[in-house]
Amino acid sequence: MLAANGTVRLGDFGCAEVLDQYKAEDTCSRTLGSPAFQSPEIATGLESFSGIKVDIWAAGVTLYQIVTGKIPFDADNLCDLFETISRADVEIPEELGSELADLIRAILNPQQDGRLDLEAIQRHRWMSMDLPDDQRVPYRQRKPRILDMLDQVDATVTNLATGASAS
């Protein structure tokens, strides 16, 4: 989504769970959403967990994906994926800089009590607008892999329709 002032807003309410905003308690017991975005507490099978801390984890996965073009945890099957997530051993490319690497590691902390909260994320140095150029996230002029795959599908369909050979 794009706000009127040009600010990008991300939102996905397809798997939302309503919490009472006036209660300090945010315990959830249902797991929703894409497996690659699940937190270690879900991956290890905890019966209940902090909804806010799970959302912060998912935001960290999203941040990583935005700045690198790939997800931080990947595997060939769900069991291996959850094992990888539970270890939270994320490789952060050096070109992202130390400040962003620190923020991502702090958000993707496998211990939910050690994971940054929203206020700490907002106060983090990387969130400041006056970072030196060598600490800014490099702009990547690269299409996401899914768009490359869609281009291949389009070419294959076109070739089938016209009788041309696939390249």
- Cα distance between residue 21 and residue 118, in whole Å: 15
| CATH assignment at residue 58 | 1.10.510.10
In a domain, 127, yes or no: yes
**Which residue in this structure is represented by tokens 């140095």?**
125
In a domain, 143, yes or no: no
In a domain, 54, yes or no: yes
DSSP β-bridge partners for residue 50? 27
Domain that holds residue 60: 27-138
In sequence order, what DSSP letters do the residues of 3-45 get, joined into one string? -TTS-B-----TT-----TT-S--EE----S-GGG--HHHHTT
In a domain, 102, yes or no: yes
In a domain, 72, yes or no: yes
Report the range of poorest mean pLDDT among 82-86, 112-116, 136-140.
136-140
What letter would DSSP give residue 90? -
In a domain, 160, yes or no: no
In a domain, 4, yes or no: no
In a domain, 82, yes or no: yes
Structural domain count, the chain? 1
- Cα distance between residue 142 and residue 137, in whole Å: 14
More confident site: 46 or 23: 46
Q: Tell me the one-letter amino acid at 93.
A: P
- Cα distance between residue 154 and residue 76, in whole Å: 26
Q: How confident is the model at residue 139 (pLDDT cuts 50, 70, 90)?
A: very low
| Mean pLDDT in residue range 95-122 | 92
More confident site: 74 or 137: 74
Strands (E), 33-165: 49-50
Does residue 152 have a pLDDT over 70? no
- Percentage of the chain exceeding pLDDT 70: 63
Q: Which candidate, 150, 119, 139, 15, places its Cα nearest to that of 66?
A: 139
In sequence order, what DSSP letters do the residues of 152-163 get, joined into one string? HHHHHHHHHHHT
CB 90 within 8 A of CB 110: no
pLDDT confidence of residue 46: 83
Q: What is the pLDDT of residues 41-86, one digit of tens each?
A: 988 888 888 888 888 999 999 999 999 999 999 999 999 999 999 9
Instruction: Please count the other Cβ atoms lying within 10 Å of the Cβ belonging to residue 117.
Output: 12
Does residue 154 have a pLDDT over 80? no
pLDDT confidence of residue 30: 72
